[in-house]
Structure 1
Amino acid sequence: MAIWKREATLELLNQRSVGCMVEHLGIRFTALNDDSIEAVMPVDQRTTQPFGLLHGGASVVLAETLGSMAGYLCTAGEQWVVGLEVNANHLRAANHGEVRGVCRPLHLGGSHQVWQIEIFDQKNRLCCTSRLTTAVMQPRVG
């Protein structure tokens, strides 16, 4: 059974990413499964640090992009999510091609969510593990 409360397609997710950092870094959503969401990001001049390795900050952007979009898809109506905390452990360097992020929920509560995001290189080796906590925001009344 799917965890998503909103209707979405990969095309809609990628259209929503136009004109912001997500598009600038070349992040593309590639899979929307019943309980996970995936995206890829190139390892190129936009996402590497001066020594040619994937920048840790770019990995965090990919993780927060995935967790925030997943969080939004788990809300309904006029609800939305904002990030409260993100952390990342960088385990392996990537220096070419693209990386793939996979996001799954650890906790889906009414007021907050916790997402686990794992980032893999082209050989499917774990490069980064990240966790994002989001707050579920409600429309203000009055």
Structure 2
Amino acid sequence: MSEGAAEIEKSPLEWARERGLGALADKMGIELVEFTTERVVATMPVLGNTQPLGLMHGGAYVVLGESLGSMHATLLAGPGRYAVGIDINATHTASITEGFVTGVCTPVHVSRSLAVHEIAITDDRGRRNSTLRITNMLRDVR
């Protein structure tokens, strides 16, 4: 089981698209736009990801953030290693009822054992809707 992009002769974006973000991210319509060692950018539609009032569901923001943070942490962990989320925090600051949101995930701290990322999620007008922080434990594949 090879997890780190370094042992695959592809760009990080090709590696991530081939690996995929998982079945839940697929159902939610998450699309990778950029994937480098410095950051990850992805979009997600509001349609299909709302709560009963028609607003983007807070859990949808969390799914977007965890998908991006965990995938990026796995890339940074390197060959033969993977990331496991151990903490996530989200603060929702604006509502949206239509269009798309964009998540930009950047590392805050990366060591041999931990990776911490911040994910800023904005709407089509550039207004921040949610800010997340995820901590992943980096482990060796057995």
| Alignment deviations for residues 72-112 of structure 1 (CA, whole Å, 9 cap, x no partner) | 11022210000000010000001111100000011001101
| Code of the aligned partner of 1:44 | L
Decide which of 88, 103, 106 is 2:105's aligned counterpart. 103
Q: 2:19 matched to which residue of 1?
A: 16
Answering whether residue 44 of structure 2 is matched by residue 41 of structure 1, we say yes
| Code of the aligned partner of 1:30 | V
Shift >4 Å, 4+ stretches: none
Q: 1:81 matched to which residue of 2?
A: 83
Gaps (5+ residues) in structure 2?
none
Considering fraction of residues, name the structure with more helix: 2
Q: 2:131 matched to which residue of 1?
A: 129
Rounded to whole Å, the distance in 1 between the matches of 2:67 and 2:104 is 11
| Code of the aligned partner of 1:29 | L
Q: CA RMSD in A?
A: 1.8
Q: CA deviation at 1:138?
A: 1.3
**Number of matched pairs:** 136
Contact persistence 1:120–1:127 (CA under 8 A): yes
Gaps (5+ residues) in structure 1?
none
Q: CA deviation at 1:9?
A: 4.2
Rounded to whole Å, the distance in 2 between the matches of 1:59 and 1:16 is 21
Matches within 5 A, 1:53-92: 53-92=55-94
SS in 2 for 1:74: helix
Q: TM-score, normalised by structure 2?
A: 0.88
Identity of aligned residues (%): 37
SS in 2 for 1:93: coil
Q: 27-36 vs 117-126, which deviates more? A: 27-36
Rounded to whole Å, the distance in 1 between the matches of 2:135 and 2:97 is 28
Q: CA deviation at 1:58?
A: 0.3
